[in-house]
């Protein structure tokens, strides 16, 4: 890979990071009618609030001395906390919240795209039950994509050396359709092929097994709805937003999002995963009792978006984290300055 830091110095990079973050969160809030709220870094264990990601990652946990040694854990994301917050605030359909989410994922495999430290805009919006459909999902994805495009254009005004690359429109495809197009490729290879072709793609249906018996990627059972049959006849009201990264020359995931489970989808998905015991946890019991609103939501990687819009080759160029010494040395030899 031949890499050139278009911003030159770390100082310019730091200024540009702030510009991206300030611009995008304002654009996102305007597109989706979101209120910024304060969010926790820790939640109590055994409440069902923490995101279990793929179900194997270990959260960072510790006992709280002044609370009878109750255990708390650093969040993986706020996928379920946001829905509870919307209920507490009494937010009406058509409006929602977003927050700066900071997480620790110590089991992450460290490379130029993955860090122990995770920062994202976690957002959630209240919807009506009749809006739990594919058309509404696509409409929301297009709004998020527009917020990214507006931000890219504004960055170009400030930094003319970073020319806009995003396509005018985003392409939608179901993960089963993608499998049928490229049956001999892995999921990651299928992503590369379709995103290379279209530039910006939203892959629908992440979590349910496809015709080859494998899911395109893993999803927990208790936030995204990946089991409901949508209007195209396929499973899933969720997906991933991917952009073509011209620096790395590969598909680049910016966001995972979806319409959240209702009562029936939660029961079905817990049963499919053999996790019926979760029905008694605080979050899950409230949802099954109809005490939580219907929502759509997701996470948009802050460092990921900065990395993409500023044409960086390593996520460590836009966030400060811990890296193996050999990685630092390799990056330095290629002109990549880690913060």
Unique residue bearing structure tokens 């460290």? 110
Query: Residue 74 has which token pair?
Result: 């650093």
Please say if 165 is a catalytic residue: no
The single residue of 108, 253, 275, 330 carrying the catalytic annotation is: 253
pLDDT band at 53 (very low <50, low <70, confident <90, very high): low
Please say if 264 is a catalytic residue: no
The single residue of 19, 115, 120, 175 carrying the catalytic annotation is: 120
CA atoms 267, 269, 274, 279: torsion sign: negative
pLDDT at 116 over 70: yes
Tens-place pLDDT, residues 292-303:
999 999 999 999
The single residue of 25, 29, 83, 105 carrying the catalytic annotation is: 105
Quote the pTM value: 0.91
Tens-place pLDDT, residues 239-283:
999 999 999 999 999 999 999 999 999 999 999 999 999 999 999
Please say if 330 is a catalytic residue: no
Percentage of the chain surpassing pLDDT 70? 98
Please say if 105 is a catalytic residue: yes
The single residue of 19, 25, 51, 131 carrying the catalytic annotation is: 51
Question: 3-class SS at 90?
Answer: coil
For the chain, which domains are there?
Answer: 10-167+260-333 (3.30.930.10)
Query: Residue 265 has which token pair?
Result: 């989808």
Please say if 51 is a catalytic residue: yes
| Residues whose CB falls within 8 Å of the CB of residue 105, separated by 6 or more in sequence, listed in order | 53, 57, 76, 116, 118
Tens-place pLDDT, residues 183-198:
999 999 999 999 999 9
pLDDT band at 1 (very low <50, low <70, confident <90, very high): low
């Amino acid at each position: 890979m031949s890499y050139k830091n278009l911003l030159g110095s770390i100082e310019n990079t730091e200024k540009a990071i702030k510009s991206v973050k300030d611009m995008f969160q304002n654009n996102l809030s305007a597109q989706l009618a979101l209120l910024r709220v304060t969010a926790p870094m820790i939640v109590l264990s055994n409440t069902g609030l923490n995101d279990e990601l793929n179900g194997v990652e270990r959260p960072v946990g510790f006992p709280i001395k002044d609370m009878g040694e109750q255990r708390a854990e650093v969040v993986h994301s706020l996928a379920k906390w946001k829905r509870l917050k919307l209920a507490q605030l009494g937010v009406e359909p058509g409006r929602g919240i977003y927050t700066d989410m900071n997480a620790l994922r110590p089991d992450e495999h460290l490379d130029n795209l993955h860090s122990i430290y995770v920062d994202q805009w976690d957002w959630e919006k209240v919807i009506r039950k009749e809006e739990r459909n594919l058309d509404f999902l696509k409409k929301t994805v297009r709004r998020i994509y527009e917020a990214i495009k507006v931000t890219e254009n504004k960055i170009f005004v400030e930094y003319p050396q970073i020319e806009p690359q995003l396509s005018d429109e985003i392409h939608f495809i179901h993960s089963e359709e993608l499998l049928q197009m490229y049956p001999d490729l892995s999921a990651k290879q299928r992503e590369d092929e379709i995103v290379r072709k279209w530039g910006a793609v939203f892959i629908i249906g992440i979590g349910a097994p496809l015709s080859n018996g494998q899911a395109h990627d893993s999803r927990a059972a208790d936030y995204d709805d990946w089991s409901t049959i949508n209007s195209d006849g396929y499973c899933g009201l969720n997906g991933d937003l991917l952009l073509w990264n011209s620096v790395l020359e590969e598909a680049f995931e910016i966001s995972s999002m979806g319409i959240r489970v209702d009562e029936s989808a939660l029961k079905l998905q817990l049963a499919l995963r053999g996790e019926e015991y979760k029905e008694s946890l605080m979050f899950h019991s409230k949802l099954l009792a109809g005490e939580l609103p219907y929502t759509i939501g997701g996470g948009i990687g802050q460092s990921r978006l900065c990395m993409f819009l500023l044409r960086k080759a390593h996520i460590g160029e836009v966030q400060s984290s811990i890296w193996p010494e050999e990685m630092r040395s390799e990056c330095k030899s290629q002109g990549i300055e880690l913060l």
